[in-house]
Structure 1
């Protein structure tokens, strides 16, 4: 079984669904959105 298949199977499992839902809740928080935007900004400025 390839890595992609194993990840896909895990994400369909109950535990995987819990983690996906937790990730969605965390991403909905404004402070986490701000942190991600700052990280993306830093990463994009390094490429130039």
Structure 2
């Protein structure tokens, strides 16, 4: 059986994986989503200052 990492790499190199990666990158660039993630990290104890 292929390792999990190998299966993930194979998926990311497939056409569907490339589309998913492009959607995730576009989502990550959106300032509203960045603020939402920062709020969740702050709320759940991520990166204390």
Report the TM-score range of the alignment, normalised by the length of the smaller protein: 0.7 to 0.9
Q: Which has the higher helix share?
A: 1
CA-based RMSD? 1.2
SS class of match (1:33) = helix
Alpha-carbon deviation of 1:43?
Answer: 2.1
Once the two structures are superposed, the pairs formed by residues 35-46 of structure 1 within 5 Å of their partners are 35-44=36-45
TM-score normalised by structure 1 residue count? 0.83
Structure 2, unaligned runs of 5 or more: none
Once the two structures are superposed, the pairs formed by residues 22-41 of structure 1 within 5 Å of their partners are 22-41=23-42
Residues 1-48 of structure 1 show CA distances to partners (whole Å, capped at 9, x for unaligned) of 011110111001110000000011111111100000011112226xxx
2: CA distance, partners of 1:14 / 1:7: 13
TM-score normalised by structure 2 residue count? 0.82
